Structure 1
Amino acid sequence: MSASLGGLLKDYRLQRNIAQMEVAFALGWKDTSRLSRIEQGVVEKPPRELIDKISKALNLKAQEKNTLLLIGNYLPTKEELEQTRKENEAYLETWPYPAILYDFCWRIILLNKSALRMLSMNKKDKKKAYEVAPSALELVFDPKYVQNQYLKGDEVKVWHTNLFRFLTHFKNFQKSIIRDKWYMATMKKMMNNDLFRELWTKVQNSEVNFITTRFGKKIFVSPEDRNKRLKFNIFVVPLMKDPRFELEFFNPADTETADFFTKSK
């Protein structure tokens, strides 16, 4: 399968044995020149509305269209964010430990009850988070973030290793989004953060290992006792229906952490 927006569009069209002219007529165009330029990558990023129309003309399935939107780096709309929350909220609650849903630019979209508890978030905090969809990138590098305030010694090394892995994934992804406005705005803001600048410089000389960005260990300060730690093994998987979103699952790495979530609240 092609790795470019135009290439994938062409793949989908050919798989369905649809001629360019058929698509052009369905869109109200008199010839195929515009579609040809899109498939060839001459038109770097067509408007989202046009991609929706072409997807409809090709009768793409939801997963196919969403894969197309991911490759084209089209941010999910507010309506899509809300729909994704509704479709996945019950599922996330079946996981007894923290689970967090992100979109491809690492905005926090949905947290289950265990994640809210781990992060000491109440209903008001949850509502605000869903309104603004905060960036995980900004959150984890914030000096006021609880992890950056209370972790000590080797814990800090583990935490910084997690941040390094996070940025390694971000670096690999950013090759295709470097011209997007949201990316440029985020990077300009993050370059004011000392820790981000330090790790970002190190990441530039590192090799990208997809496996290490999908699995790992995390240590969290307990919301009930700042001297205690919650330890997890984590894994990340994309949503099957919409790969623009990823689920991060936390699994307790010791009995103390497991007990924290199984005891009565």
Structure 2
Amino acid sequence: MTKLSVNINKFGTIRNSRGGENPSVLKAAIDAQLFGADGVTVHPRPDERHIRYADVRAIRPIITTEFNIEGNCREQKFIDLVLEVKPHQVTLVPDAEGQLTSDHGWDTITHKDYLVEMIRIFKSAGIRTSIFVDPVPAMVEGAAATGTDRIELYTEAYARDYAKDRNAAIAPYVTAADQAHALGMGINAGHDLDLHNLQFFARQVPYLDEVSIGHALICDALYLGYENAIQLYKRQLATE
């Protein structure tokens, strides 16, 4: 079954809005695993507006499932953090400085040489690599040429078009997943997946290893309860 990694950034956003340590990011990581999540994702940014670098260091020792760190590898501070903490997976995202949220995948052709070097650095430290990619055949092929272990399909376009025509919205992702698998890469996915569109995505996209979900899941948790939200998302990923 496809694994669910819970992005806990929003706990940091709420905490930082008031100061102090409530809600506790560390407890959010512990409870995500306790409540059935298959992993924990964090995405530290240079301004530390949600997850702080100190949070990442504090979370690592309590991870009993899988730890995924997302971020912009153009920042030396991020590279140093990942090599220090050694998560199970690092997901490289082409964010610009000050970007509100991730909004596109890598141009794996233009940035091939750069990505090859970054992936070499992380893989040499024993860290599985994944790179954020749009469901475009040329970009998927380019990703394979970088040596990455996995790609993470950027799913904003699918989520945006799901209500209008879900079959048309999913088609590029099915093609991209088939292509990535044929090229020897694992497949992750994330961005704007939620309780309305997740099940269809998980059942249609082949070879899907993992989805990373934060914003929608945490919003639902405010209404449904954290444990219940995670179990509901897990149910959407069931094969039958």
**Superposition TM-score tier, normalisation by shorter sequence:** under 0.3
Higher alpha-carbon Rg:
1
TM-score, structure 1 normalization: 0.26
Higher helix share: 1
